[in-house]
């Protein structure tokens, strides 16, 4: 307010001071949203929750985040807690330095407004703030640990170089397949290795994005935490701690925006490797806002013939949509889920079609992706028992259009009969369960 001692350029009254303090207290909701974001990453990455399952609790996260900030801000008005404190207005006793009732031996106070303001600072703000800091740190540690365990599991099931790419070797096999089948098997194994490497890379990228969000949160609230601890322990206000507190706290929104745009920035940087960091960031923002549609001369051929810098706005939106606050990583999570589903199916499912007439599924066969039957050449003489005198067309049947099973042996262990093995990542690929 006007005429506040020791504050240069003060201009306003108690009403404007209370309005400023109200929004300052309401900003606690951003802290709660950081906890919600950390919880989202933990549930999706560590616990394998699907988008549908997360949606069931998403409204609860919104309500808690908004209700705490708004509720404490509204409650502070009748308690007359919004007063001048240092360089701005917030929860404080007035005048500064008055004796609060909880400190007085007689229980009386010399404060004209906001009695016991220091207690309300801790109850309404610093206690939930530090709880969120501890919770976010714990959830990020558990998320990182879960990603590490996933990588170890995936490496365990990667096909090794010693895997035999030849036929099953089953003595009861009715036919042999030529070397072209071995080539198909090698191609399939190569695809599996590439898929698993992509899975490991995606896990690292998702965890890295989560850690960057937490880093932005810590950057904004480290100095306010130190500032308050120094005040409590020494009773003194240090100018530089106050300066960095006032500088970093309002930057949290900008830091979150930078982290949110980071995957796009990395993509634009790959498409324009000759540009500097600031130039790529400026180009990305201009294109995302629709102010320009191509990289121009700076991007060169990379910008026009590459992976989307010179494409139309509609095409770029389809390539990397931003749908909501909690949707920034779901596209990569969905793609890794498809890879894991495919691997699980290849490991544990038996063949579902007969190779020969009146013959059941061969236990040595594992369901695999579709393979064009025309690329497989059958050679050698068919091995039939003496009592089988069927005609050539009845000896074996191969669908030359599409084979929905692989005729090769995989090194993956087979489960016991009628037993469904657990997925590689707990909870990720099982049917959604009711909460």
Q: Which residues have a Cβ under 8 Å from the Cβ of 372 and sit 6 or more positions away?
A: 402, 403
- 3-state percent breakdown (helix, strand, coil) of the chain, nearest 5: 55, 5, 40
pLDDT band with cut points at 50, 70 and 90 for residue 344? very low
Model confidence band, residue 123 (pLDDT cutoffs 50, 70, 90): very high
Cα(27)–Cα(69) distance, integer angstroms: 7
Percent of the chain with pLDDT over 90: 17
Find the DSSP H helices in 349-402.
392-395
**Is pLDDT above 90 for 77?**
yes
What was the pLDDT predicted at 415?
52
| Mean pLDDT (whole number) for 350-354 | 43
- Location of structure tokens 């409204």: 59
**pLDDT score of 187:** 56
Instruction: Find out whether 378 and 177 touch, Cβ atoms under 8 Å.
Output: yes
Q: Extract the runs of DSSP E, i.e. beta strands, from 334-398.
A: 367-371, 378-379
In the structure, what pLDDT confidence band is assigned to residue 402 with cuts at 50, 70 and 90? very low
Averaged pLDDT score across all residues of the chain: 69
Can you tell me the mean pLDDT for 161-167?
Answer: 46
Tell me the C-alpha to C-alpha distance, in Å, between residue 324 and each of 55, 65, 327, 375.
Answer: 12, 16, 5, 45
Residues 387-404: what's their mean pLDDT?
41
- Sequence-distant (6+) residues with CB within 8 A of 71 are none
pLDDT score recorded for residue 198:
65
Contact 270, 308 (CB under 8 A): no
What is the length of the chain? 435
- 305 vs 212, more confident: 212
Among residues 51, 258, 229, 236, which one has the least CA distance to residue 133? 229
Q: What is the mean pLDDT of residues 314-337?
A: 44
- How sure is the predictor about 157, in pLDDT bands with cuts at 50, 70 and 90? low
Least confident of 2-6, 74-78, 109-113, 172-176: 172-176
pLDDT at 53: 93
* Bridge partners (DSSP) listed for residue 82: 91
- DSSP 8-state class, residue 373: G
What are the residues facing 113 on neighbouring strands? Answer: 94
Tell me: the pLDDT tens digits for 355-389?
Answer: 444 444 444 444 343 333 333 333 333 343 444 44
Higher pLDDT, 223 or 366: 223
Residue 70 has pLDDT above 90, yes or no: yes
- Best-predicted range by mean pLDDT (168-172, 194-198, 282-286, 317-321): 282-286
Enter the tokens of residue 45: 């990455």
Q: Among the ranges 122-126, 150-154, 336-340, 411-415, which has the highest mean pLDDT value?
A: 122-126
Mean pLDDT within 24-36 = 91
| pLDDT higher at 305 or 63 | 63
Nearest to 139 by CA among 33, 36, 39: 39
Q: Which residue has the higher pLDDT, 158 or 314?
A: 158
163's CB contacts (< 8 A; 6+ apart) are 189, 410, 411
pLDDT at 301 over 50: no
pLDDT at 228 over 60: yes
Residue 318 CB coordination number (10 Å): 11
Mean pLDDT computed over 326-332: 45
Q: Which residue has the higher pLDDT, 263 or 400?
A: 263
Parallel, antiparallel, or unpaired: how do β-strands 367-371 and 82-85 relate? Answer: unpaired
Higher-pLDDT residue of 385, 29: 29
Q: For the chain, how far is it from start to end, CA to CA, in angstroms?
A: 51
In 166-308, beta strands by DSSP E? 176-177
Does the bond joining 95 to the residue before it have cis omega, within 30 degrees of 0?
A: yes
């Amino acid at each position: 307010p006007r005429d506040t001692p020791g504050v240069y350029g003060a201009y306003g009254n108690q009403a404007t001071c209370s309005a400023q303090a109200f929004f300052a207290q309401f900003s606690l909701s951003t802290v709660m949203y950081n906890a919600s974001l950390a919880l989202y990453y933990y549930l999706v990455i560590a616990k394998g929750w699907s988008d549908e399952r997360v949606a069931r609790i998403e409204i609860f996260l919104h309500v808690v985040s908004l209700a705490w900030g708004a509720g404490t801000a509204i409650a502070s008005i009748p308690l007359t807690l919004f007063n001048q404190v240092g360089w701005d207005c917030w929860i404080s006793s007035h005048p500064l330095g008055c004796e609060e009732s909880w400190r007085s031996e007689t229980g009386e106070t010399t404060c004209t407004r906001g009695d016991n303001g220091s207690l309300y600072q801790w109850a309404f703000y610093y206690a939930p703030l530090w709880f969120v800091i501890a919770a976010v740190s714990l959830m990020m540690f558990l998320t990182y640990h879960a990603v590490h365990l996933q990588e170890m599991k995936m490496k365990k099931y990667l096909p090794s170089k010693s895997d035999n790419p030849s036929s099953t070797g089953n003595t009861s096999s009715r036919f042999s397949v030529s070397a072209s089948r071995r080539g198909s098997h090698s191609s399939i194994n190569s695809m599996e290795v590439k898929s698993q490497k992509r899975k490991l890379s995606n896990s690292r990228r998702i965890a890295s994005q989560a850690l960057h969000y937490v880093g932005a949160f810590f950057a904004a609230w480290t100095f306010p935490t130190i500032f308050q601890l120094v005040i409590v322990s020494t009773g003194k206000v240090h100018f530089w701690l106050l300066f960095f507190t006032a500088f970093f706290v309002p930057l949290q929104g900008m830091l979150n925006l930078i982290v949110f745009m980071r995957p796009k920035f990395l993509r634009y940087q790959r498409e324009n490797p000759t540009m500097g960091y600031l130039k790529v960031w400026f180009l990305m923002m201009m294109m995302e806002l629709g102010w320009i549609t191509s990289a121009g001369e700076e991007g060169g051929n990379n910008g026009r013939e590459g992976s989307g810098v010179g494409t139309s706005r509609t095409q770029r939106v389809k390539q990397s949509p931003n749908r909501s606050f909690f949707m920034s990583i779901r596209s990569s999570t969905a793609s890794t889920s498809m890879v894991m589903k495919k691997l699980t199916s290849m490991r544990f499912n038996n063949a579902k079609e007969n190779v020969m007439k009146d013959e059941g599924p061969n236990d040595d066969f594992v369901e695999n992706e579709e393979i064009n039957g025309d690329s497989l050449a059958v050679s050698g003489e068919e091995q039939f028992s003496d009592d089988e005198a069927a005609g050539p067309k009845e000896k074996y049947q191969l669908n030359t259009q599409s084979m929905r099973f692989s005729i090769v042996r995989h090194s993956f262990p087979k489960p016991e009969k009628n037993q469904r093995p657990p997925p590689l990542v707990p909870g990720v690929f099982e049917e959604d369960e009711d909460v």
